[in-house]
Amino acid sequence: MKTNFFKILAAGTLALLLSFTVIPKKTKLYIIGDSTAANKEEKAYPETGWGMALQSYFKADVTVDNRALNGRSTKSFRAEKRWDPILAELNPGDYVFIEFGHNDEKVDKPAVGVSLADFKINLVNYVKETRSKKAFPVLLTPISRRSFKNGVLMDSHGDYPRITRQVADSLNVPLIDMLVKTESLLNRLGEEPSIKLFNYVDSGNVNYPNGKKDNTHLSPEGAKQVAGLVVKGIKELKLNLVKSLK
């Protein structure tokens, strides 16, 4: 009888202790944006989005949920209802990293391209809606293309990065200036050495039989380095995410 009593007591004590155990809250870090960040299908390899490399920088208490998609802009991402499920899932304390610009520039494609004025409105809406769920928006300017001319890196994004910076300033949103960071990286490496960061593939590759010379999309090495620049930005901003970095 005594044995059974102590067994029941021990089980009850354990259950009581477990009821007070605090389960660490996981933070989700959503990425919304375009192909430079997006997850890639196997048939596109070695093309790699920087968002695919970001999880490796975090401990288990942060989950990177990469919703960026090829060809999307601030306009088409919403029009295709890609934003709605994210907004519905957002919990207080989550993060939304917002990086657009590559496709918003394509004003010759009405379903995708937007004017600077509409680009600003779209960014403001993403920020305000994220905050309405008590989550944290972070704005990112688009990454640089590898667009060298006579050895000089050229800007190919026009005023879209300026608008992103403007929205960040006016709404007091943390900003990671990826254009500046990637331009610095490309200039530091130089025109030829920077090829390794992009999706350059020799002919005969199973996914690119005729080869590929892509100065917009990243290689696995490029994705890792660009994700590292995002992490550098997180540290510079002193976001709460810093404590979850490895």
- With 0-12 CB in 10 A as exposed, 13-18 as middle and 19+ as buried, what is 82? middle
In degrees, to the nearest 5, what angle opens at C-alpha 12 toward C-alphas 6 and 13?
A: 90
How does pLDDT run across 173-215, given as a tens digit for each residue? Answer: 999 999 999 999 999 999 999 999 999 999 999 999 999 999 9
The residue ranges of every structural domain in the chain are: 26-244
26-244, which class in CATH?
alpha beta
In degrees, to the nearest 5, what angle opens at C-alpha 142 toward C-alphas 130 and 154?
A: 160
pLDDT at site 25? 75
How does pLDDT run across 16-75, given as a tens digit for each residue? Answer: 444 444 455 799 999 999 999 999 999 999 999 999 999 999 999 999 999 999 999 999
199 within 8 A of 217, measured Cβ to Cβ: yes
Q: Is the pLDDT of residue 11 over 70?
A: no
Q: Is the pLDDT of residue 223 over 60?
A: yes
Q: Is the pLDDT of residue 131 over 80?
A: yes
Q: Is 106 helix (H, G, I), strand (E, B) or coil?
A: coil
pLDDT at site 24? 58
